[in-house]
Amino acid sequence: MTTAPSLPAGLPYHRMAHHTGRHRWWRTLLGTLLVTGGWFVLLLLLSVFSYVFGEVAGQREGPDGDIDFGPLGNTALELVSIAVALPLVLLAVRWAGGRPAGTVCSVTGRLRTGWLARCLLAAVPPMALLTVGGFFLPDEGDSGEGAVWVGWRTFLVSLAVLALLVPVQAAAEEFVFRGWLLQATGAFARFPWLAVLPQAALFAAAHGWGTLWGFADLLVFGVVAGWLTIRTGGLEASIALHVLNNLTAFGLSAAVVDGLSSDETAADAPWQLAALDGVMDLGYAALVLWLTRRRTPQRLSSPVVPVPLGAPYGAGWYGGPSPYAPGPRTPYAPPSPYAPPSPYELPAPHQPTTPYAPPQPPRDGGPPA
């Protein structure tokens, strides 16, 4: 009986496309087409649905011909249009990549919620410093009019919607850039930095071109997030930073009148804010590294034991070689300690149970046997 070729073990995150040993160059191309093409199809469907819903609801059209749902509604629609990319990445990994969808989350094949929670706590101090420091930076777009508070009712409603959608939107961007693109490039590049730099440049370009400083700030964010992803073996560290960063930015915008209507993004940041944000990114990376020294997360994938080709039905369950645990297997399952004893092992009721046989009658007048 021949066996399948041995599968690679101990892969870093950017090389997880080879996790099952079935990677081919066309799988990366097919998965990329699935993510990009599927995203455009979903955007078209979402646009049609929102337009029909707006017409039925009596919403007015904006200057660009789209339905205007108001500052909060338009922001929610934009967040959903990005969030729909997340399931597409999972499908691309599973169908086109031919490997478990969880391998894009981390080297363990799942999202490590405990490590994600610790990274979220680590992101709080840098984001707090960024928020406080931002108030002392000069506002180049200030026209002389102060920001107007929207009121608690409007702010809390906006905050609830943002708290529901922003984490999914931020996670979707991480799954696309630090997930699919990082592993797609890493499938052909063993050196980690060759996988980190392309996705960082595409991440910065995807936010549009505003200022040179804004582009550089996004580039630094992409590099730091990509490096942390490989260094920690998963997307948790980059998701935590991205989620908290976006929640802070959207939350501050929702606190003022027409704040969510602004077209400015991180790409339009002035050099002061870009420099402060870059320092925050590096500070967060330092805190994550400190956490890894206290409790190191798994950085390499676990070994995989292949199933022999031509193994009988049930291999890996009853006696066959299991793909999940190494070591020999017995041809039959061991008896359960709770199973009743076999009826053939019980003494017959008509036979004596004494430890010795009764004496036999004498033969030919001889002494008793």
Q: Indicate the range of 7-16, 53-62, 171-180, 325-334 predicted with least confidence.
A: 325-334
Query: What are the structure tokens assigned to 261, written together?
Result: 């209507």
The answer to whether position 350 is within a domain reads no
| pLDDT tens for each residue of 185-227 | 999 998 999 999 999 999 999 998 889 999 999 999 999 999 9
Q: How sure is the predictor about 5, in pLDDT bands with cuts at 50, 70 and 90?
A: very low
The answer to whether position 132 is within a domain reads yes
The Cα 369–Cα 347 span in angstroms is 26
The answer to whether position 105 is within a domain reads yes
Quick one: DSSP state of residue 266? G
The answer to whether position 340 is within a domain reads no
Q: Does the reported pTM lie above 0.75?
A: yes
For the chain, the domain total comes to: 1
25 vs 307 pLDDT, higher one? 25
The answer to whether position 367 is within a domain reads no
296-310 in b/e form (b: 16+ CB < 10 A) is: ebebebeebeebeee
Q: Indicate the range of 85-89, 258-262, 274-278 predicted with least confidence.
A: 258-262
The answer to whether position 85 is within a domain reads yes
The answer to whether position 86 is within a domain reads yes
Strand ranges inside the chain, DSSP E = none
Q: For residue 184, what are the domain limits?
A: 13-137+148-294
The Cα 94–Cα 33 span in angstroms is 14
80-90 in b/e form (b: 16+ CB < 10 A) is: bbbbbbbebbb
Residue pair 280/125 in contact (Cβ under 8 Å)? The answer is: no
The answer to whether position 22 is within a domain reads yes
| pLDDT tens for each residue of 36-45 | 999 999 999 9
Q: Is the pLDDT of residue 331 over 60?
A: no
